[in-house]
Amino acid sequence: MQHPSETVQRSLILLKPDALNRGLIGEIIHRFERVGLKIAGLKMVWSTEEIAKKHYTEDLAERRGEHIRQLMVNMLTSGPVVAMVLEGVEAVEVVRKMVGETEPKSAAPGTIRGDFAHLSFKHADSKGSGVFNLIHASGNPEEAETEIDVWFSEDEVQNFDPEYIKRTII
């Protein structure tokens, strides 16, 4: 479901339950729109454990342990999430920069996590929970394609080019 251009990409973004609980949906979406990224898909869902395990794959369990994977699944299923597909020039890298480091306390000011979160891995470990870090963003274009397919059916991702995109990036 990727865009036909080599430089225009799609990325999956999940606004996690803590972002919704804190009322940050509009602020976060505004940041993505402000840099010119296009919303190609958007919905609010309550993730099932099955979907969360498809998202947090067994690869995560191999790298960080099944216990960590289960904590992340528990976190993702603890409330509704907003799933988004963003599209733009090298969108995966742009979004990752905007989101900031995975550990909120290490995220730079000006990033989403740096501006709105401060928790640490150590704190999450002490509470026996996954890290509530507001947002997930695909790590690379291949991961984005796989993740988009987990959260969206083909007819839920729109192919349209607003006039400003036609003038600037296509």
132 in the Ramachandran plot: left (φ > 0), alpha (ψ -120 to 50) or beta? beta
Q: In this structure, are residues 31 and 39 in contact, taking their beta carbons and an 8 Å threshold?
A: no
Neighbours of 152 (CB within 10 A): 21
To the query of whether residue 136 is one of the catalytic residues in this protein, the response is: yes
| Biggest CA-to-CA distance, the chain | 51
Contacts of 103 (CB under 8 A, 6+ apart): 119, 120, 121, 131, 133
- Determine the Cα–Cα distance for residues 167 and 170; give it in Å rounded to an integer: 7
Strand partners, 89: 8
Q: 3, 30, 123, 136: which is the annotated catalytic residue?
A: 136
- Known catalytic residues are 136
